[in-house]
Amino acid sequence: MQLVIAEKPSVAQSIAGVLGATERKDGYMEGNDYIVSWCVGHLIELAQPESYDEALQKWTYESLPIIPDTWQHEVKSDTKAQYKVLYQLMHDNRVDSVVCATDAGREGELIFRLTYNMADCHKPMKRLWISSMEESAIKEGFSNLRPGSEYDHLYESALCRQEADWLVGINGTRLFTVLYGGKALKVGRVQTPTLAMLVDRDWKVTSFKKEKYHHVRLALDGTEAVSERITSPEEAETLRAACADGPAVCTSVTREQKKEAPPKLYDLTTLQREANRVFGYTAKQTLDYAQSLYEKKLLTYPRTDSRYLTADMAETAAAVLHLAAKVPPFDGCAEFFPDVSLLVNDGKVSDHHAIIPTLELEKADLSALPVGERNILLLVCRELLCVVAEPFVYETVTATFTCGGQTFTAKGRHVLSLGWKDIDRIFRASLKEQPEDEAEPAALPDFTEGQTFDQVEASVTEHFTTPPKVHTEDTLLSAMENAGKEDIPEDAERRGLGTPATRAAILEKLVAAGFVERKGKSLIPTKAGINLVTVLPDTLTSPTLTAE
As a whole number of angstroms, the distance between CA 463 and CA 231 comes to 10
Which helix (H) or strand (E) covers residue 340, if one does?
A: none
As a whole number of angstroms, the distance between CA 168 and CA 71 comes to 15
As a whole number of angstroms, the distance between CA 364 and CA 538 comes to 51
Question: Rg of the Cα trace of the chain?
Answer: 29
259 pairs with which residues across the strands? 393
Torsion of CA 300, 305, 308, 314, to 10 degrees: -30
Is 135:184 a contact under the CB 8 Å cutoff? no
Is 158:514 a contact under the CB 8 Å cutoff? no
**Positions marked catalytic:** 301
| Phi, then psi, of 429 in degrees rounded to 5 | -65, -25
DSSP character at residue 119: T
Question: Within 13 A of 355's CA, how many CA atoms are on the CB side?
Answer: 31
Greatest alpha-carbon pair distance for the chain in Å reads: 99
Alpha-carbon torsion (433, 436, 437, 442), positive or negative: positive
Is 107:304 a contact under the CB 8 Å cutoff? no
User: Please, what is the end-to-end C-alpha distance for the chain in angstroms?
Assistant: 44
CA 432 to centroid of chain Cα atoms: 24
- How many other CB atoms are found less than 10 A from the CB of residue 139? 13
Is 397:253 a contact under the CB 8 Å cutoff? yes
Nearest to 388 by CA among 297, 331, 314: 314
Alpha-carbon torsion (469, 535, 508, 194), positive or negative: positive
| Phi, then psi, of 416 in degrees rounded to 5 | -100, -40
CA 333 to centroid of chain Cα atoms: 28
As a whole number of angstroms, the distance between CA 211 and CA 230 comes to 11
452-480 burial by CB neighbour count: b if 16+ within 10 A, else e? ebeebebebeeeeeeeeebbbbbbbbbbb
| Phi, then psi, of 5 in degrees rounded to 5 | -115, 115
